[in-house]
Structure 1
Amino acid sequence: HEKPILHSDQGWQYRLEKYKKKLKDKQIMQSMSRKGNCLDNAIIENFFGVLKSELFYLNEYNSVSQLHSEIRKYIKYYNRDRVRLNLNGMSPVEYRTHYFKNIA
C-alpha cells in the first residue's frame, strides 16, 4: 500500500514526458522543488551525503538487493538510533517524541 514519492529539482531530464510517463507507469509520484529554490532539496541532499559517507563509500555490495537491504537498515538506524547534536543529542524519533510530548 506504499506510494513512493521521488523528489528532484526541476532539471530538464526530470521534466521530459518520457520520464514522467515511466514514473506514472510505476505508480511513483513526482515531486519537484520550486524553480530557483534549492532549499527544498537541502534536507534530502544532506541525508544522501551522510548516507553515502557513513554507508555506501565504506562497503562493497555484491548485488542491488544487498545494497537495498543495507540502505533500509541504515534508514532505521538513522531515524531511531543515530544521535544528532542539532537535535539535543537525540535521534530524530526521540526528538519528535520528546517535542510532541512537551507541546501537548
Structure 2
Amino acid sequence: MEGFFGILKREMFYGFEKTFKNLDELEKAIKEYIYYYNNKRIKSTIKNHTPIQYRNMVLNQLA
C-alpha cells in the first residue's frame, strides 16, 4: 500500500495541489485515479498488463 500511495501522490497530486478547490474534488480525483491505476495503467512488472487484466489472467489459469 505504501508503494501505491507514493505512486498516487507522485502521479496525480504533487504539483496539482492547488487545482483541487475542496475535499470533494480531491476525493473525486483520487477515485478516478484508482480506477485508472487498476483498469488502464499498464505495468511492465506484471507482463505489460493492467492490474485487473493480470489478476483475471492468473485466476483463469488457476481454474
In 1: Cα distance, 2:6 partner to 2:55 partner: 22
Which of the pair is proportionally richer in strand? 1
Tell me the secondary structure at the aligned position of residue 55 of structure 1: helix
Could you tell me which runs of 5 or more consecutive residues in structure 2 were left unpaired when the two chains were aligned: none
CA distance in 2 between counterparts of 1:88 and 1:103 reads: 17
Give 1 or 2 for the bigger CA radius of gyration.
1
Report the Cα distance in structure 1 between the residues aligned to 2:46 and 2:36, rounded to whole angstroms.
15
Q: Which has the higher helix share?
A: 2
Report how far residue 58 of structure 1 moved: 3.6
Aligned partner of residue 62 in structure 1, secondary structure:
coil
Matched, 1:71 2:25: no
Shift in Å at residue 102 of structure 1? 1.3
Alignment counterpart, residue 57 of structure 1, candidates 7, 14, 23: 14
Which residue in 2 is equivalent to 1:11?
none
Q: Once the two structures are superposed, what CA deviation does each residue of 1:36-73 show, in whole Å capped at 9, x if it has no partner?
A: xxxxxxxx110010000100114221110000000000
Count residues in correspondence: 61
Could you tell me which residue of structure 2 aligns to residue 93 of structure 1?
52
Q: Deviations over 1:9-58 (max 9, x none)?
A: xxxxxxxxxxxxxxxxxxxxxxxxxxxxxxxxxxx110010000100114
> Following TM superposition, where does structure 1 have runs of at least 4 consecutive aligned residues deviating by more than 6 angstroms?
none
